[in-house]
Structure 1
Amino acid sequence: MHRRDVLMGGAAVGLLGLAAVEPAGAQTSPASLLPVEVDIRPEIPANELHVIPDSFMLYWTLPGARAIRYMVGVGRPGLYESGEFYVGAKKEWPSWTPTKSMIERNPAYKEWEDGMPGGPDNPLGARALYLFEPGRGDTYLRIHGTNAPSTIGSAVSNGCARLVNDQAIDLYNRVPLRSRVVLHPKMV
């Protein structure tokens, strides 16, 4: 175990009272992106998503004070938006249309201002959960797959949380519409 793993895991333990329980035969490499089932505080309801940005972890809460922990990439500094949301839409192989502010930050995105069709080269990857707020509707925040798995464990996106595609598919299949999503504030 490396010092970074201990420090990053500390944020999740503090906010959610989480403790990892490694399954038998699991890889212990810190580079492993495999989901892990963990214990959580008993008062945290099942069927919620919690993103802990400082430790690059997303939790899908289960009954019995358990959760599945996925490693994610998050929004880069100044673009991560904490708060409470709900899953307002779900899409398989979603299309991607950069926002005006994304095009301003990266003029190369202008090529896709009318949208990029879904598929393996699309930055939203294989699946996407669209985050909504009451009264606001679509926030343009997503929990999605990625065609750039090397970005997992870093803060590089335009505000969304990203998983490797096979795990995005797994999460997509587990999470129903209207599920509560908490994007916890950055602590660092």
Structure 2
Amino acid sequence: MTIDNRISVLEGDAAARPENFSRRAMLFGSLAGLGALALAGCAPAGMSLAEAEKVYGPRPNERFPIPAAKISKIDPKYYRRTVKYASNEAVGTIIVDPRNHYVYRIAGDGYATRYGVSVGRAGFLWSGDAYIGRKAEWPIWTPPKEMIERQPEAAKYAGGMKPGLDNPLGARALYLYQNGVYTLYTLYSTSVPETIGKGISSGCIGLITQDMLDLYDKTPVNTKVIVLKA
């Protein structure tokens, strides 16, 4: 395995534990409503190629400049967009739908922002209620010993892999907790767009980096997260 297969080595994410952490809509029937959604990069009818190129463009002002996402490698159905989504959950709640490879952020009034994601492969799926217990920008990643036993090539990162574009967690991470305990599952940013819509990780949920930046900025600690059954 090479580091380009880095999504599959997220299980356990020991770096997310405190001792290893370093630093880590709708269209309202008016042109004004449509304009607001276009600015958000998520028009209800779906993005045009030109819109996608803008939304998934480079982010040069980041600590590690982020290149444009290779949108040609992403099925357009996974582009960020506002969709109808009936829910009684509070605005801001995150709902993970691993069966259909989507994450929803409840926007209210029967709508949600939808993001395409990669999910856990067979044998690594998890479901239940959780909350965002911690957030991190450009986190360190450390493989747990169980992973090193399965994938000895990960041993060189036993002391922690420094932040950067090649780090499996990418630019941002949202850590899922239950009752004050880290669940070992994470929402993270991936720079490998061809993984979106697939089950390839050790249970963690990957978003295109530009989508993860958007979700991260809108998601405070203690936000409720619901992971549906696959």
TM-score bucket (shorter structure):
0.7 to 0.9
One of 110, 114, 121 as aligned partner of 1:65: 110
Q: Calculate the aligned-residue CA RMSD, in Å.
A: 2.0
Deviation digits for residues 68-93 of structure 1, max 9, x if unmatched? 00000001111121111100000011
Task: Indicate whether 1:37 and 2:37 are aligned.
Answer: no
One of 31, 38, 44 as aligned partner of 1:23: 44
One of 151, 175, 194 as aligned partner of 1:150: 194
Partners of 2:46 and 2:81 within 8 A in 1:
no
Q: SS at 1:167's partner residue? A: helix
Task: Indicate whether 1:123 and 2:168 are aligned.
Answer: yes
Task: Indicate whether 1:183 and 2:204 are aligned.
Answer: no
> Please, which runs of 5 or more residues in structure 2 have no aligned partner?
1-41, 50-71
CA distance in 1, matches of 2:46, 2:104: 21
* TM-aligned CA distance change 1:115 to 1:92, over 3 Å: same
Q: SS at 2:48's partner residue? A: coil
CA distance in 2, matches of 1:71, 1:63: 20
State how 1:2-151 maps to structure 2 within 5 Å.
23=44, 26-27=47-48, 31-32=75-76, 33-135=78-180, 137-151=181-195
The alignment's TM-score, normalised by the length of structure 1, stands at 0.81
Partners of 1:102 and 1:158 within 8 A in 2:
no
Q: SS at 2:212's partner residue? A: helix
Q: SS at 2:132's partner residue? A: strand
CA distance in 2, matches of 1:101, 1:149: 27
Q: SS at 2:44's partner residue? A: coil
Deviation digits for residues 129-184 of structure 1, max 9, x if unmatched? 0111005x111210000132211111010110001111111110011110001111
CA distance in 1, matches of 2:220, 2:214: 12
Moved more, 169-178 or 106-115: 106-115
CA distance in 2, matches of 1:98, 1:140: 11
Task: Indicate whether 1:159 and 2:203 are aligned.
Answer: yes
How far apart are 1:27 and its partner, in Å?
Answer: 3.2
The alignment's TM-score, normalised by the length of structure 2, stands at 0.67
* TM-aligned CA distance change 1:129 to 1:43, over 3 Å: same
Partners of 1:75 and 1:161 within 8 A in 2:
yes
Moved more, 157-166 or 37-46: 37-46
* TM-aligned CA distance change 1:116 to 1:26, over 3 Å: same
Which structure has the highest helix share of the two?
Answer: 2
Identity of aligned residues (%): 38
Count of matched residue positions in the alignment of Structure 1 and Structure 2: 165
CA distance in 1, matches of 2:190, 2:106: 22
CA distance in 1, matches of 2:45, 2:86: 22
Partners of 2:44 and 2:83 within 8 A in 1:
no
CA distance in 1, matches of 2:85, 2:45: 19
Moved over 4 A (4+): none
Residue 10 of structure 1 corresponds to which residue in structure 2?
none
